[in-house]
Each structure stands twice: as C-alpha cells, then as structure tokens.
Amino acid sequence: MSNTLAGSCLCGTVTFSLKNEFKCFYLCHCRQCQKITGSAHVAHLFTQPDNIQWFSGEENITRYDDPKRSFSKVFCAQCGCGLPFVNKSGNALIVPAGVLDDQPTITPSHNIFWAERAAWYDAALLAKHCVGFPE
C-alpha cells in the first residue's frame, strides 16, 4: 500500500496528492451535506491541514462558506467536483473520499447526523445491485 494517494477532479484540471494518514472517516447525512452533494451523504476523510500537495488547477478552486453554520463546499469551477479544503476553524483538512484516485486504508467509522438522513435511505440500502443499468 502506497503511503501517498493521488487525487483529481472530474475534468482533470485540479490534481493533488496527500499522505495516507487520516484521523477519521465519516459519512455525514445532515441536510446541508445532502444539498452539497445532491445525494444522501458526504464521505469525508479528516487529516492534518498541511497534508496536501497541489499539482495543478489551484486557480480553478472555488470556495463557498455558509454564512450561518460551520460548513463549506470547495469545488472545481470547471466541473463542480468537490475538492479537499481546510475547515473554517483551520484544524483539519477535509477530503471528499470520492475525489481520490487511490483508495485510503481507513474505512468509515460513523454515519453522523443519522437522524437527518434522507427518508429513502434505509430503502436504498436494500435496493438491488446491478453491474450497470437495470435490465
């Protein structure tokens, strides 16, 4: 297992790498994370604020900080793909797991804000598995 993980946005403009050293891995089901992803939850890895090396596309990174609550969304202005960012308090780098091209060693430990999960999420866990689209 490599100690360095590569990451890139969907369009390939933004590329980076970071060390495979994470404090925790949470799936957050809060309402804001549903909005941010347009889906059921975020999958966020937490690491040291300085654990990132940007290779390209830094000028394309756009940040949205919610004025009221402590959450942010950082993304590629070109393709909208979520990207790593330092949280408002500055004590952690938050990495959306799906943006990594290599897999981290750590696995999710908690589903947080579970009470706010999408009404359809429990049913989704029981939905059929297909290789591609359903037949």
Q: Which residues bind Zn ion (CB under 5 A)?
A: 9, 11, 13, 28, 30, 33, 76, 78-79
Quote the least distance from Cβ 76 to Zn ion, whole Å.
Answer: 3
Quote the least distance from Cβ 120 to Zn ion, whole Å.
Answer: 17
- Among residues 10, 5, 4, the alpha carbon closest in space to that of 81 is found at 10
Quote the least distance from Cβ 126 to Zn ion, whole Å.
Answer: 23
Amino acid in the structure at residue 11? C
CA distance 58 to 76: 9
Beta bridge partners of 105: none
Cβ nearer to Zn ion, comparing 23 with 105: 23
Cβ nearer to Zn ion, comparing 13 with 129: 13
Cβ nearer to Zn ion, comparing 79 with 124: 79
CA distance 72 to 58: 17
Cβ nearer to Zn ion, comparing 50 with 64: 64
- Among residues 106, 115, 9, the alpha carbon closest in space to that of 57 is found at 9
Quote the least distance from Cβ 44 to Zn ion, whole Å.
Answer: 8
Amino acid in the structure at residue 34? Q
